[in-house]
Amino acid sequence: MSCRTRRGQGKMRVPTLWLFSFFMITEGWNGFLGSDDGIKTKQELILNKEKPLGPFQEYELLLQVAYRDSKEKRDVKNFLKLLEAYPLFLPGPVKIIRAKSTTYCGIQNGVLRCACDDGYSWFPPSCLDPQKCYLHTEGSLQSCDCHLNNLTQSVHFCERTKVWGTFKINERFTKDLLDSSSAIYSKYTTGIEIQLKEAYKSIQGFESVQVTQFRNGSIIAGYEVVGSSNTSELLSGIEQAAKKAKTGLHQLFPLEDNSFRVFGKAQCNSIVFGFGSKNDKYTLPCSSGYSGSITARCQSSGWHVLRETCVLSELEELKKDFSVIASNATEATVSSLVQNLSMVIQENPSTTAGNLASVVSILGNISSLSLERHFNVSISTMENVINISDHVLNSASVTNWTVLLQKEKNAGSQLLESLENISVLVPSTALPLEFSREFINWKGIPASSNQSNLGYNYQTEMFPENTSIPIRGHALIRSDQFQKPLPETIISMTSLTLGNILPVTKNGNAQVNGPVISMVIPNYSINEIFLTFSKIESNLSQPHCVFWDFNHSQWNDNGCHLVNETPDLVTCRCTHLTSFSMLMSPSVPPAIVPVVKWITFVGLGVSIGSLLLCLTIEALFWKQVNKSQTSHTRHICMGFFILCFGMLLDSKLRQLLLNKLSPLSFWNQASKQNSSDSSVKPRFKKTFNPFQHERKYVLSYTGESSNDIMLTQFSSSE
């Protein structure tokens, strides 16, 4: 193995990172790599596992090792010898039959640039550490640029050349084909791999073939071919051997004509869903311990989850328990159910979309039943409800909420309504009480004569992730709003992430830009409340004071008005109680204003010039066109038509610009339409449910859009 250097770097000492891939023969045992002598192993990646031959088995392992000079290179070689003599992770003797570097790196212009060695390739869309590195796919040589030299968190390495293929079997698809431990899965997999290996074994550079997936649609089988040659050579050899492969498969299965295809670039490729072409749709069952399924579609940027209903088995049991106790429920049984729900969530923190839906459903049923039976909510029960809410409102689960809201668009509204309904059931004797969590703050006090004298002040501050700047919320009800008889309790609640799951209307590009503050006073009404919100995003403008309308499941501005705006704060005045926030839209960049002005000036100039030209032509040829009354009338009509058309065009252009530059303008019209039937008081009414594969997965999220969804492995059954 030789160390590569990059031309043009002069005498600069270039650190080189090598990722070694080993073949080892040993007894069949799936161990996990550890560390030794200060050389850390990154991860175990079983890319190819041959069928056992007697007591031996062949594994391919990826080991991340870095060296900078010849001395460190010798240390690596000594480590390999030590690894062979004293296996750290597998019992019995180990023989390394091949070691080959996969990746080399060098510093260019202060950026760590990595590339794949011969016979290895990057597989888009990411390389090494997706958070720190960017994959350049243009040109003949793909490279991975990383702005930080620390690659200890790398997960996407160079891999051997791959080619993918699919074909369709005209037989009935069964769910057992999604279970790698089932007999029918083993039958199809073994038969297909034997025939394909026989067909491809003579191809130069061919190393292995493995069935990776079965999909519905008769039976669509997908397989992966791995080789040591480059992609074009391997693909060409497989295409030439296609006839032989189809003949062999025909002996075992009724293949559909013209369904056999191979390709060297997969539009989508992931551990969970495998590979696919654009618009391919794939549904997988959830992992052991979950019920439901997950469906994804292949798009240009990768697999995107369309629907996910993975529900923890314990949550399904709790839903059944509620159905059993509902008819004879007591305060004690409801309290016990809430406690069990809190314990289940603490022990299984996975916030899949299915789990979120189940939690919302259970809390909704509890709030409806408790309101109907006039149950009191104890301190411990309220604390458990807040803990549950804090868990499902975790900022890491926002993208899963996006998946859930595609199916159940009112789920966020149901959660908020359930929290308000349960809160009003806390008796005044249990107050004052306050729970402050990372994503939600709850406070309840018993009303007293202090409110008649001093009014009510509620202040809170919360810290978004990765920032030390607090987001504050403040609610003020003046003393003149509290008339005798005084209310029993006053409930206040704030959340930073709740606004992300309460959808903004489809029109415009406005977004919630402040905390959601809920103010609830049971069986009491006020005429004025002042609210102050910190701006979450300072680059947004045009604040609009709104409240959440439970009747229409949308933000509404009826009864709310903007009082004041500063660079950091927005103050609103509303005439009723419920849950409030503010909407803001992206401001028009100052650089755009001169462009818009010049477009206006050019348009006006062209219009005036055209008018002058028309008047000049009219003056020169007036005698010719004024020979009869008919022609005179005709030209007057044409002039009026042009005038009307110009006015209509001007109106449409103004409306278009207004919608683009002021996306919140539609709220005035929406408010008028809803003012007659939208409620200004909180309403208390009845509210309304990872993969059976070799590994288990949960959903996690990076990015801001609903498409930024990543399926992350959290345990392995291997």
Express each pLDDT in 334-390 by its tens digit. 999 999 999 999 888 878 999 999 999 999 999 999 999 999 999 999 999 999 999
* Dihedral of alpha carbons 149, 154, 159, 164, sign: negative
- What is the pLDDT at residue 549? 94
Above 70 in pLDDT, residue 694?
A: no
pTM, rounded to two decimals: 0.67
Average pLDDT, stretch 57-76? 69
> Mean of the pLDDT values across residues 31-42?
30
172-204 pLDDT tens trace: 988 888 888 899 999 999 999 999 999 999 898
Look up residue 691 and give its DSSP letter: B
pLDDT at 680 over 60: no
C-alpha dist (Å) from residue 572 to 359, 410, 516, 561, 583: 33, 26, 13, 6, 12
Residue 279 backbone zone (phi > 0: left; psi -120 to 50: alpha; other: beta): left
Output 586 or 149, whichever has higher pLDDT: 586
Higher-scoring residue by pLDDT: 679, 132: 132
Q: Does position 708 have pLDDT exceeding 70, yes or no?
A: no
For residue 89, which of 29, 147, 25, 31 has the smallest C-alpha distance? 31
In this structure, what token pair is assigned to residue 43?
Answer: 């991860």
Task: Report pLDDT for 88.
Answer: 58
Provide the total of helices (H) and of strands (E) in the chain, helices listed first: 15, 36
Q: What is the mean pLDDT of residues 279-307?
A: 86
The answer to whether domain 311-586 has CATH 3.40.50.300 is: no
pLDDT, position 9: 33
- Using 50, 70 and 90 to split pLDDT, how confident is the model at 62? low
Cα distance between residue 426 and residue 455, in whole Å? 21
| pLDDT-above-70 percentage for the chain | 73
User: In this predicted structure, what is the pLDDT of residue 74?
Assistant: 78
Q: What is the pLDDT of residues 474-513, one digit of tens each?
A: 999 999 999 889 999 999 999 999 999 998 875 567 899 9
pLDDT tens profile 126-136 = 677 777 788 87
**Residue 18: left (phi > 0), alpha (psi -120 to 50), or beta?**
beta
Query: Cα Rg for the chain, rounded, in angstroms?
Result: 33
Band (pLDDT 50/70/90 cuts) for residue 223 is very high
Q: Is the pLDDT of residue 164 over 70?
A: yes
Distance CA 680, CA 631 (A): 63
Q: How far apart are CA 707 and CA 298, in angstroms?
A: 11
The answer on pLDDT for 78 being more than 90 is no
For range 629-638, the mean pLDDT: 69
pLDDT at 699 over 50: no
Alpha-carbon torsion (435, 440, 446, 451), positive or negative: positive
**CA 292 distance to own-chain centroid:** 19
Tell me the C-alpha distance between 137 and 105, whole Å: 16
Residue reference for tokens 């926002």:
398
Name which residue leads in pLDDT, 533 or 174.
Answer: 533
The confidence band for 139, taking pLDDT boundaries of 50, 70 and 90, is: low
Mean pLDDT of 415-424: 96
Q: Which residues of 434-452 are buried (b: 16+ CB within 10 A; e: fewer)?
A: ebebebbbbbbbbbeeebe
Contact 51, 208 (CB under 8 A): no
Task: Delimit the domains of the chain by residue range.
Answer: 16-157, 160-265, 311-586
Question: Are the C-beta atoms of 244 and 199 separated by less than 8 Å?
Answer: yes
CATH class of the 160-265 domain in this structure: alpha beta
Whether 521 shows a pLDDT value over 90: the answer reads yes
CB atoms within 10 A of CB 136: 14
pLDDT of res. 39: 29
- Mean pLDDT along residues 232-258: 89
The one-letter code for the residue type at 47 is L
Using a pLDDT cut of 90, give the percent of the chain over it. 36
The mean pLDDT value of the chain amounts to 77
Confidence label for 703 from pLDDT (cuts 50, 70 and 90): very low
518 token code pair: 């809920």
pLDDT range class, residue 143, cuts 50, 70, 90: confident
pLDDT, tens digit (0-9, with 9 covering 90-100), for 591-624: 566 766 777 777 777 878 887 887 787 777 666 6
Q: In this predicted structure, what is the pLDDT of residue 470?
A: 92
Q: Which two tokens stand for residue 615?
A: 């008047």
Confidence of residue 550 (pLDDT cuts 50, 70, 90): very high
How many whole angstroms from its chain centre is CA 579?
26
